Amino acid sequence: MLLHGVASSSMTYENVVPKLSDKHRVIVPDLLGFGHSDAPVGATFSLHEHVEAVRDTITALGLKTPITLAGHSLGALIAIRLAAEYPRLVKHLVVISPPVYLPKEAVIDPLERARVDGYLKLYHFMRENPGFTRAAAVALEALTPTKNYVELDEHNWEAFAKSLEQCVESQTTLTDLAQVRCTIDLVYGTLDPFLSPSGLRAMERMRGVATTRVEGVDHAMRPKMAEVVAHLITEPSPPTEQIRLVRQD
């Protein structure tokens, strides 16, 4: 199962699915409020709601579990929480371009702290200025590798704004990741402007996380990244060493 990011849809994986479908059953849902999925009245688009919607999809489709679960951007945060809460459902977690940010007070380097603060202020500005954000989305769509890769309109604006606030700006991703017990592949592009170096370093040092860096790739799921993601899904990286217990009383 492949989960897309914010302001996007299942089209994110257009270049990934053909590389997997001959050997795997591939499920690519539209997240709650995005693409062709409904936006329930009163939805807050919290991480919990997104996770429960994905879990319900797994159940409704009668998928044989545990599954391989991949998530890009917002989808990565959802996938991590689902794997943490429902460990019996996931055997391999592929985390793609995750926007993970440490609390500002936990970032020692002043430049990195300012960078994290800048990200959060930008996301707040985007939520409060729909006209600017939609115009930026149109410009970004022109630079992406797949038609309709970026979708931001009246239909999914609420899902976009609330998901950004509830899942990305207010996140517990590192705590969630620490509870995951399955094989974890972290993959990201070296030119991705939305990723925080301090967040990535924290993830890379965690138990069970194997990292793949894709040179010359940004945040979009470009053909080069799609090739790497498909390979990792088919051939997971060997699990990293467990933390060595020196003494146990």
| Domains of the chain from N-terminus onward | 2-234 (3.40.50.1820)
Q: How confident is the model at residue 244 (pLDDT cuts 50, 70, 90)?
A: low
* Length of the chain, in residues: 249
> In the predicted model, what is the mean pLDDT of residues 154-163?
94
pLDDT at 247: 57
pLDDT at 159: 96
Distance CA 86, CA 99 (A): 22
Cα dihedral angle (100, 192, 12, 232), rounded to 10 degrees? -80
CA distances to 27, 28, 149, 168 from 91, rounded to whole Å, are 16, 17, 28, 25
> In the predicted model, what is the mean pLDDT of residues 127-156?
88
Q: How confident is the model at residue 145 (pLDDT cuts 50, 70, 90)?
A: confident
Residue by residue, what is the 3-state secondary structure of 149-209? CCCCCCCCHHHHHHHHHHHHHCCCHHHHHHCCCCEEEEEEECCCCCCCHHHHHHHHCCCCE
Distance CA 227, CA 234 (A): 11
The long-range contacts involving 204-209, CB below 8 angstroms and separated by at least 24 positions, are: 206/174, 206/177, 206/178, 207/178, 207/240, 207/242, 207/243, 208/180, 208/181, 208/182, 208/183, 208/184, 208/239, 208/240, 208/242, 209/177, 209/184, 209/185, 209/240
pLDDT at 148: 78
Between 117 and 240, name the one with better pLDDT: 117
Neighbours of 169 (CB within 10 A): 16
> In the predicted model, what is the mean pLDDT of residues 65-91?
97
Percent of the chain with pLDDT over 90: 82
Contact predicate 83/178, CB 8 Å = no
Distance CA 195, CA 214 (A): 13
Percent of the chain with pLDDT over 70: 96
Range in 75-89, 139-153, 203-217 the model is least confident about: 139-153
Question: pLDDT (tens digit, 9 = 90+) per residue, 124-136?
Answer: 999 999 999 999 9
Question: pLDDT (tens digit, 9 = 90+) per residue, 1-12?
Answer: 999 999 999 999
Q: What share of the chain is helix, strand, coil (3-state, %, to 5)?
A: 45, 10, 45
pLDDT at 241: 63
Question: pLDDT (tens digit, 9 = 90+) per residue, 21-64?
Answer: 999 999 999 999 999 999 988 999 999 999 999 999 999 999 99
